[in-house]
Amino acid sequence: MTRTGVWLIGARGNVGTMAIVGARAIATGHATTAGLVTERPPCTTLKLPGFDDLVFGGHDITTTGISSRAQLLAANGTPPSSTVEAVSDELERIDDRIRTGTITGSGSAIEALAEQSINGESLSSMVEQLRRTYRVFVEKHDLGRLVVVNVASTEQPLEQPARFDSRATIERAIETDDRTLPASAVYAYAALLDGHPYINFTPSTGASLGGLQELAIERNVPHMGRDGKTGETLVKSALAPLFAGRNLRVTSWSGHNILGNNDGRVLEDETHQAGKLESKGGVLEELLDGTFHNQVRIDYAPPLGDWKTAWDDIRFSGFLDTEMSMRFTWDGSDSALAAPLVLDLVRLIAHADEHGEGGPQPQLASFFKSPLGVDEHDLSRQFSMLERYVERHAEEHP
């Protein structure tokens, strides 16, 4: 397939770095394809961009380079040091393509993290700058397509997002330099306007605004979001259907998350946490009958580094109102869980773009906590949606 650009907003973060290291390690034969949805049936029958066809670039607001970040991750357990070493030259080369990002309208916790940022004279000039950056990258690397992916830290939630329900209101905001429009939406606007597929892997606003969805339809650009489903919520979406299907009435579902990376640090800030908790808790509201005590906690525990642990306590009433319970713990590397999904999404949205499938992509619902335009939260049924998409393509393009 044609060369595909992958433009990561937050490229120097843990997820961005892990995705880049992994893609290069797979491309050069230094790693297996474990954890990649696109590398097992049904997706293996699709014609997707190869790992060696992915060309990485991106924006960031920190100055620690990808190579250093990768070494820090390795010291924390994953990726293996030997893998980082095997691709370290390429990491340096990719890091040279990272441009300084913007944090306009992102909130104080993001501001506290920023070691560098651009703010533009106006939103209009910033949009022009972003478009130019994307275009230059495409030209320089002779790319057939550019996928823009948001893997940056979580912004504060946007108040009254309905203000931006049409393309017109968004463009007016840009013209009038309305700085409540957050960075994630600005990045998405610049991408969609020029036909670059867009993925929002975070709970930030991104392309979820009505006006951006309108723009994507107009330009027939595929996009999807939001908030990658990597751990506790992934398990919730697999387990909750069990309780619902068996008419076991959940009375209390209480989740406690501890993690030690920047994500945890930003989420310590209650404003930033709000959006995250909504998508984490919301899955259960959709999947379970009736009312129940639904609580999610996220706590920052620095010694855990990039690792996270979720502990969930579930109480339910069964036959003759018998009170029973289930608990689980989930221990994983935040980035090692997220990064392969980023690569899967890039490959699958490139495929959609190739086939002229613009707008939100429901077949990608299983990847997200809050899949745009999809009400189905049952993980197995979301997997079935992807399976049916693949089958349809197999029939149409045998």
Q: 6-65: which residues touch a second copy (CB under 8 A)?
A: 18, 21-22, 25, 31-37, 39-40
Q: Of these, 128, 295, 373, 391, which contacts a second copy (CB under 8 A)?
A: 295
C-alpha–C-alpha distance, residues 60 and 261, integer Å: 16
Q: Of these, 339, 365, 385, 390, which contacts a second copy (CB under 8 A)?
A: 339
Q: Of these, 131, 256, 271, 282, which contacts a second copy (CB under 8 A)?
A: 256
Return the number of the residue (25 or 152) whose C-beta is nearest a second copy.
25
Q: Of these, 336, 346, 365, 372, which contacts a second copy (CB under 8 A)?
A: 336
Q: Of these, 52, 119, 245, 391, which contacts a second copy (CB under 8 A)?
A: 245
Q: Of these, 172, 329, 394, 397, which contacts a second copy (CB under 8 A)?
A: 329
Return the number of the residue (290 or 398) whose C-beta is nearest a second copy.
290
Q: What share of the chain is helix, strand, coil (3-state, %, to 5)?
A: 50, 20, 30
Return the number of the residue (26 or 174) whose C-beta is nearest a second copy.
26
C-alpha–C-alpha distance, residues 178 and 174, integer Å: 6
Return the number of the residue (88 or 133) whose C-beta is nearest a second copy.
88
- ∠ CA(94), CA(105), CA(297), 5° rounding? 85
Pair of tokens at residue 33: 């394809």
Shortest distance, position 353 Cβ to a second copy, whole Å: 23
Cα end-to-end span (Å), the chain: 17
Give helix 210-219 / helix 167-175 axis angle, nearest 10°. Answer: 110
Shortest distance, position 278 Cβ to a second copy, whole Å: 18
Tell me if 361 sits within 8 A of 224, measured CB to CB: yes
Shortest distance, position 398 Cβ to a second copy, whole Å: 25
DSSP assignment string, 178-229: -TTS-HHHHHHHHHHHTT--EEE-SSS-GGGSHHHHHHHHHHT-EEEES-B-
Return the number of the residue (260 or 359) whose C-beta is nearest a second copy.
260
Among residue numbers 81 through 120, which ones bind a second copy (CB under 8 A)?
Answer: 81, 83
Q: Of these, 94, 234, 346, 352, which contacts a second copy (CB under 8 A)?
A: 234
Residue 262: strand pairing partners: none
Contact flag: residue 149 with a second copy (CB under 8 A): no
- From residue 274 to residue 293, the character string flagging contacts with a second copy as x (rule: CB under 8 A) and all else as - is ---------------x--xx
Q: Of these, 380, 388, 392, 394, which contacts a second copy (CB under 8 A)?
A: 380
- Using a CB cutoff of 8 Å and minimum separation of 24, what contacts does 131-134 make? 131/190, 131/193, 131/194, 133/59, 133/99, 134/7, 134/190, 134/191, 134/194, 134/196
How many residues at the interface with a second copy, by CB under 8 A? 77
Contact flag: residue 1 with a second copy (CB under 8 A): no
C-alpha–C-alpha distance, residues 153 and 13, integer Å: 8
E-strand stretches of the chain: 4-9, 54-60, 98-100, 145-150, 198-200, 222-225, 249-259, 293-300, 307-317, 323-333, 359-360
Can you give the length of the chain in residues?
398
Return the number of the residue (44 or 176) whose C-beta is nearest a second copy.
44
Return the number of the residue (203 or 340) whose C-beta is nearest a second copy.
340
Tell me if 191 sits within 8 A of 148, measured CB to CB: yes
Q: Which range binds a second copy by CB under 8 A, 52-60, 200-208, 234-242, 268-276? A: 234-242
Q: Of these, 114, 195, 326, 362, which contacts a second copy (CB under 8 A)?
A: 326
Contact flag: residue 224 with a second copy (CB under 8 A): no
C-alpha–C-alpha distance, residues 101 and 130, integer Å: 9
Return the number of the residue (127 or 259) whose C-beta is nearest a second copy.
259
Closest Cα to residue 93, out of 132, 147, 55, 59? 55
Among residue numbers 306 through 325, which ones bind a second copy (CB under 8 A)?
Answer: 309, 311, 313, 315, 317-322, 324-325
